[in-house]
Amino acid sequence: MSDMTTEKAAPTAQDILGRDKDPHLDEDNPFEAMMARFDYAAELLDLDPGMYRVLRHPEKQIIVAVPIQLDNGDIEVFTGYRVIHNTVRGPGKGGIRFDLRVTQDEVKALAAWMTWKCAVVNIPFGGAKGGVVCDPTALSVAELERITRRFTAALLDHIGPEADIPAPDVNTNERVMAWIMDTFSMHQRHPVTAVVTGKPVEMGGSLGRREATGRGCMIATREALKHLGLPLRGTKVAVQGFGNVGSIAAQLLEQEGLTIVAASDVSGAIYNPNGINVEDAIQWVRDNRYLQGYPHADSIPPEQIFGLDVDVLLPAAVENAITRKNAHEVQAKIICEGANGPTTAGADRILDEKGVFVIPDILANAGGVTVSYFEWVQDRMGYFWNEAMVNERMEQIMQQSFQDVVSVAERHSVNLRIASYMLAIDRVASVHRLRGLYA
Ligand code: NAD
């Protein structure tokens, strides 16, 4: 029987979000941030200690040296990581990032997040993540290609359509996925499109994948407004991060009748209380790279974006954006986490006390992995869907997942973040119990 039926006294907000009780917990450490929520959800589920130990430990952690010849003839060695957190429900799924800040702890956290995210939206994948410690801005395209191919070669025994399926993440894109697919296929001696998702559409990518995460954020926000009995029309939104997720979510929310009053990117923040024309701002960024200087809005200090008088806040940029330091400034009724890990565990407590309705990352931004799942399905079938079908099927999954999480939240009197973890942990743990422990 599922642990979800376990009756417990309703916890207080302090119980739910007081996971910073460990004075050594590092608010900025993503693994600790993830574990703080995992531990509490596991406690509420009465997860038995053995299962807790299984789920806390990643299945596999790979560290590889990635030696390449630079364009100037020198040899440089980069470090690459791939962590497969759990594959009990299906093959590992998760992005690969190229960034100087990649650490094993971060990759471990992101891999576990993927396990929970795939389980929340109930798609048959486990969780994985990877990264190479490098500065892509200091490397040529040819050097990036060599890093990608050598990293892929080092992972040949671990990745594959039935084992672990990488995808784009920070500083990696369709082109990098094409190189991974090509390297893997050359070794297999036949094309293997389903080894990665986020590929160019011409070579097995899915229509609608590029917009999927932003679209999922729009659906989650719309469902939250409906759930809270709030109107769509005129609802004011501030978006942190105006890249793939933030700009597309903003555009689709505007189409639903909401008003985007503020947006920010790495160059700064813009504000117009009467609304920003999102298509116009996107065009400005296409032409000028950054939002800075956008003529139809005022420039404001970037940190002010969190304290604006808005109904919805959509952090879609980086981890640890909302912390203990700025959470008390939030005026929004809803936070839709487009980014992974934008809110620290310490900030959760403050937001909960303020009654902010937080749609957690593992639900809010799961539209992306859902359409990655569709891409993998289409590659394996060799039959491709039109964009309307992709969007319709994704919408069904997002709506269902939102309802599933709300039901758990109401049943256990917890917020949506803890409910998402409870739902995910319960789904993963049930399959572990069904499969049993091998040997
Ligand atoms: P992106 O690179 O397209 O855009 C990132 C945006 O954030 C850019 O506008 C950048 O200027 C801005 N930014 C960076 N640092 C900032 C800062 N300190 N303050 C304000 N803005 C800042 O990336 P993306 O694909 O939109 O991803 C954004 C977030 O969403 C990441 O956390 C990513 O992991 C997460 N995410 C993305 C997807 C996806 O499918 N793209 C899926 C799930 C989660």
189-240 residue pLDDT tens: 999 999 999 999 999 999 999 999 999 999 999 999 999 999 999 999 999 9
CA-to-CA dists, residue 389 to 87, 206, 250, 371, 413, angstroms: 28, 11, 22, 11, 36
In the reported structure, the alpha carbon of residue 413 is separated from the centroid of ligand 1 by a whole-number distance in angstroms of 32
Q: Does the annotation count 129 as an active-site position?
A: yes
pLDDT, averaged across the chain: 93
CA-to-CA dists, residue 44 to 9, 20, 86, 237, angstroms: 10, 17, 21, 33
Mutate to test the pocket of ligand 1, among 98, 121, 211, 245 (most ligand atoms within 8 A of CB): 245
CA-to-CA dists, residue 413 to 13, 120, 220, 406, angstroms: 10, 18, 20, 10
Token couple for 24: 């050594």
CA-to-CA dists, residue 436 to 51, 254, 278, 429, angstroms: 11, 48, 51, 10
**Per-residue pLDDT at 321:** 95
Cα–Cα distance, 240 to 319 (Å, whole number): 11
Percentage with pLDDT > 90 across the chain? 88
In the reported structure, the alpha carbon of residue 265 is separated from the centroid of ligand 1 by a whole-number distance in angstroms of 9
In the reported structure, the alpha carbon of residue 247 is separated from the centroid of ligand 1 by a whole-number distance in angstroms of 10
pLDDT in tens, 416-432: 999 999 999 999 999 99
**Per-residue pLDDT at 4:** 42
Overall pTM > 0.85: yes
Q: Is the CB of 197 under 6 A from ligand 1?
A: no
**Per-residue pLDDT at 149:** 98
Q: Is the CB of 124 under 6 A from ligand 1?
A: no
Residue nearest to atom 33 of ligand 1 (CA): 339
Q: How many CB atoms lie within 10 A of CB 137?
A: 8
Residues 234-248 have a mean pLDDT of 96
Residues 267-275 have a mean pLDDT of 97
**List of residues 6+ apart from 214 with CB closer than 8 A:** 244, 245, 246, 247, 248, 249, 250, 251, 252, 316, 338, 367
Among 30-44, 83-97, 104-118, 159-173, which stretch is predicted with the lowest mean pLDDT? 30-44
Mutate to test the pocket of ligand 1, among 240, 318, 319 (most ligand atoms within 8 A of CB): 318
In the reported structure, the alpha carbon of residue 315 is separated from the centroid of ligand 1 by a whole-number distance in angstroms of 9
